[in-house]
Homo-oligomer: A and B are copies of this chain.
Amino acid sequence: MAEKVTSLQVAQLAGVSQSAVSRVFTPGASVSKKTEDKVRKAATQLGYRPNVLARAMVSGKSRIIGLVVGYLDNYFYPEALEKLSNALQEQGYHVLIFMASRSAGNIDDVMEEILDYQVDGVILASVPMSSDIAMRCQQAGVPVVLFNRSQDMDGITTVTSDNYAGGRKVAEFLVAGGHRQIAYIAGWQGASTQRDREAGFRAALGEAGQDLFRHDVGEFHTEDARAAARRVFDVAPDDRPDAVFVANDHMAFAVMDVIRFELGLRIPEDVSVVGYDDVPPAGWPAYNLTTIRQRANLMVAETVAALFEHIDTPATAKPRKVAIDGPLVVRTSARLPKGWTPQRTNT
């Protein structure tokens, strides 16, 4: 079992000073080709690799990014997590995960813990009380960016899709499709994503001269969404909405299941359904859900860029609110306005 190899051992084998070894492994340090060769040879021979923790102690940079995530039920998050982690890895950073959800009682504890690791930055994804936590980080001098949550509070960088515009697009699409009794099933009201989607949706509906026909809340949870769907659709035919915008795909699947399999209604003939996120199952033929795409790649790229900006140039980096436009992906869960055609399935 290969024991720990230190830079000192490498130095001795190579016949140079310990600092010479350090320099070889420090990008941008000045070492002669000859020394470098000797050191690399010795290092390889011994299987030496610099100790990240020791380096972090003295340099103050751990190359660790804390990622706080509430839950992974919504399949948008596994995707985002994977991309985030990959993007960070490419920059030589790594992700320390903190589940802020269930068991982990106190979110404050989680924050303490995360700061104990001297992380270089923090990404908050789908976390309740994001703003409080974000402030704590700021105060501790740790750069933060909120992923898929925005906050009124200034001074915090946030990256989201353009939820307001997305909500508008859905309303316009549904109105163009000839719907006149349009319902909305909301997510958790504490989430800015939910509020913005609803606001955009209502605004565009209003401009088209329509009011929301029905409103209910699914809290972003499957079971709550199911219950909401029953309240909204298990009614006399005349009271039934002819279309529903569900605040995210995760809930939309549950809503579709209730509509089709419990109530025996047809989609989209009896009811049009539109979701938000475009997670993979939305493209599965069993759902074929028309939905707003959240462009995870772009959101991740912006998040990482903003975070590094704050890390590298804390003085000049200013907080910004990035909202990335997402297209409406037209499939078959909602009636098509004239002239529209659905996208090919499973792209």
Contact = CB atoms under 8 A, between A and B. Distances in A.
Nearest to A51: B118
A2 interface: yes
Interface in A225-274: 226, 253-254, 256-257, 260-262
A141 interface: yes
Interface string A74-88: 010111011001100
A183 B94 CA distance: 43
A189 to B, nearest CB: 24
B97 A253 contact: no
Nearest to A141: B1
A79 B86 contact: no
Interface size bracket, A side? 35 or more
Contacts of A81: 72, 78, 97
Nearest to A262: B285
A263 to B, nearest CB: 12
A145 interface: no
Nearest to A103: B86
Contacts of A53: 53, 56-57, 62, 117-118
B75 A140 contact: no
Contacts of A112: 49
Interface of A: 1-3, 49-54, 56-57, 62, 64, 67, 71-73, 75, 77-79, 81-82, 85-86, 89-90, 94-99, 101-104, 112-113, 115-118, 138-141, 222, 226, 253-254, 256-257, 260-262, 280-281, 284-287, 346
Given A53-B62, A77-B78, A86-B104, 8 more contacts: A49-B112, A53-B57, A64-B96, A89-B98, A94-B96, A222-B346, A253-B286, A257-B286
